[in-house]
Amino acid sequence: MIQAILFMEASMTREATVVTDLSNREFLERFAAAGRIGLSGGVTLVDKAICRAERHLDEQEAWSHWSHAFLFQGRRADGHHWVIESDLQIHRKHIHLGVQENRISKYFDERLYTTLAVLDLGLTEAQAATLVCAGLELVANRARYSVRELFGTLIALRRPELRGRNNLLARQSSLYCSALVHHLFRKAGLDLAPGVHLKNTTPEDIARMALPHTAYVLRREASPGRLTRLKAQLRLKVGARLRHLKQRNKRSHRQV
């Protein structure tokens, strides 16, 4: 099912198309294109920790859906869509920590990536090429992924007055995922999060950007977590036990 929703913010319109009946592969193959932004949310402890930290950006302190951001560079000669991202990629006998290129097939696993979004700002081919070229330059220069800067961003989330300043734990030649995306769009003359220093940018900041855009969101019904299932089982057991005790007490009274 596909549902279109219009959001009005600061006199600007952004449209969100929510999709619920596609696989990750079908969703990305349909909406990926050069210069578009990708967002993902997952089930790992790191994903959950980032989504929880981003609650400080919400008035109701709701957790974010997004823990990672990346840039689509388009379909290449091999027939695959590729992305530019700053991430920790682990292969057999090889660990790559930093800005890198990956096929979108990385995000086909629905057990790991439970929520996806593609943000289309309606860029021209020239603008998209500028973004991709700037991203490839960082790949070639082996820009690093800084876990330390993530902690600096967490501090800024708790102290909003720090959001516009340089990351307290900043390192040279380092960019984590959403900082990379913010940096690339600034290179193209577009500020995704005005007033937020690029090294304090979160995936949620990008999801909430005020620039006119269309958001394609793949959202599924969340399956009950292990704790939720245990609570439900416990309630059933307690309820059954209470009913058994009531029935036994009734029999005892009748016998008396």
Quick: pLDDT tens for 71-121: 999 999 999 999 999 997 665 555 667 999 999 999 999 999 999 999 999
Q: At what angle do helices 177-187 and 125-140 cross, to 10 degrees?
A: 130
- For residue 175, the SS3 value is coil
3-class SS of residue 117:
strand
Band of residue 154 on the pLDDT scale cut at 50, 70, 90:
very high
How do 94-103 and 81-91 pair as beta strands? Answer: antiparallel
**Cα distances (angstroms) measured from residue 222 to each of 16, 47, 186, 188, 250:** 20, 15, 35, 37, 42
Q: Which residue has the tokens 């950007």?
A: 209
Q: Is the pLDDT of residue 253 over 70?
A: no
Taken in order 234, 239, 244, 248, the sign of the CA dihedral is positive
Lowest mean pLDDT among 212-216, 217-221, 238-242: 238-242
In the structure encoding, which two tokens stand for residue 221, read together? 């019904």
Written as one letter, the residue type at 33 is A
pLDDT tens by residue, 20-57: 889 999 999 999 999 999 999 999 999 999 999 999 99
The strand pair at 214-218 and 12-19 is best described as parallel
What does the pLDDT look like over 2-15, one tens digit per residue?
Answer: 554 444 333 334 67
